[in-house]
């Protein structure tokens, strides 16, 4: 534990310059969506495992959508919404952002593992927790627009966390939306 903040490591990058890949040891991919891929990584500075989302393609519209997703996710501070820890760029210039790594399974997987209604009723607490997180986002002007059991993680500790804010709409910012390369629900 670092007691003296002046002894903390300095910033890993100069202002306006891409962050070095040296802070993170990037591992295997474990999820792929329409806009990006999520992989496990090790934060060497803080000594913890994180989830890192990277773009599948690097055109300007995708990078803009990715930046909006990161900004929205970072703004939403709720126990039922995956927290964003860091943003950066690989040495090759591709953007990424780091989030809490939630070990567990999707609610979709949990539902499939319980074919009987009586067994599925035990999952209602996770649906309610996700609804609370989405209600919080709505109070802050954010619409998820892709809420489904596959975008709700049930962690090893029983927590329910809403993930994948890639199609989210910030209603407090009425500007035009960039195309994301995916159909809007």
Instruction: Say what percent of the chain tops pLDDT 90.
Output: 76
Query: Domain total for the chain?
Result: 1
Identify the pLDDT of residue 176.
Answer: 63
6 within a domain of the structure (yes/no): no
Structure confidence at residue 19 (pLDDT): 47
Residue 108 falls within a domain, yes or no?
Answer: yes
pLDDT for 60-117, tens place per residue?
999 999 999 999 999 999 999 999 999 999 988 999 999 999 999 999 999 999 999 9
Question: Across residues 1-12, what is the average pLDDT?
Answer: 34
The vertex-86 CA angle with 12 and 108, nearest 5°, equals 150
pLDDT at 8 over 80: no
**Residue 164 placed within a domain:** yes
Residue 34 has pLDDT above 60, yes or no: yes
Catalytic residues, by residue number, are 146
Assess contact for 65 and 184: CB atoms under 8 A.
Answer: no
pTM above 0.85, yes or no: no
- Residue 106: Cβ within 10 Å count: 17
111 within a domain of the structure (yes/no): yes
Could you read off the pLDDT of 145-158 as tens digits, one per residue?
999 999 999 999 99
Element (H, E) at 51: strand 48-55
pLDDT, one tens digit per residue, over 116-126 is: 999 999 999 99
Residue 136 lies in a domain: yes
Query: Residue 133's domain spans which residues?
Result: 17-170
Residue 1 lies inside a defined structural domain of this protein: no
Least confident stretch, 39-43, 51-55, 153-157, 176-180? 176-180
Q: Cα–chain-centroid distance for residue 70?
A: 8
The closest alpha carbon to 97, from 106, 88, 109, belongs to 88
Residue 78 forms part of a structural domain:
yes
CATH number assigned to the domain comprising residue 40:
1.10.510.10
Residue 110 confidence (pLDDT): 97
Residue 31, domain member (yes or no): yes
């Amino acid at each position: 534990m670092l007691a003296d903040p002046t002894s903390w490591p300095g910033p890993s990058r100069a202002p306006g310059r891409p962050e070095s890949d040296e802070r993170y040891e990037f591992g295997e991919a474990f999820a792929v969506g329409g806009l990006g891929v999520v992989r496990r990584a090790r934060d060497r500075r803080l000594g913890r495992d994180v989830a890192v989302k990277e773009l599948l393609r690097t055109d300007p519209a995708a990078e803009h959508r990715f930046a909006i997703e990161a900004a929205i996710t970072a703004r939403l501070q709720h126990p039922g919404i995956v927290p964003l820890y860091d943003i950066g760029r690989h040495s090759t210039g591709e953007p990424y952002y780091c989030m809490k790594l939630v070990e567990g399974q999707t609610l979709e997987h949990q539902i499939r593992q319980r074919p009987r209604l009586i067994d599925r009723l035990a999952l209602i607490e996770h649906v309610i927790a996700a609804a609370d997180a989405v209600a919080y986002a709505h109070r802050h002007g954010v619409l998820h627009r892709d809420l489904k059991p596959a975008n709700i993680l049930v962690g090893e500790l029983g927590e329910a966390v809403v993930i994948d804010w890639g199609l989210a709409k910030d209603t407090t910012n009425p500007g035009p939306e960039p195309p994301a390369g995916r159909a809007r629900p």
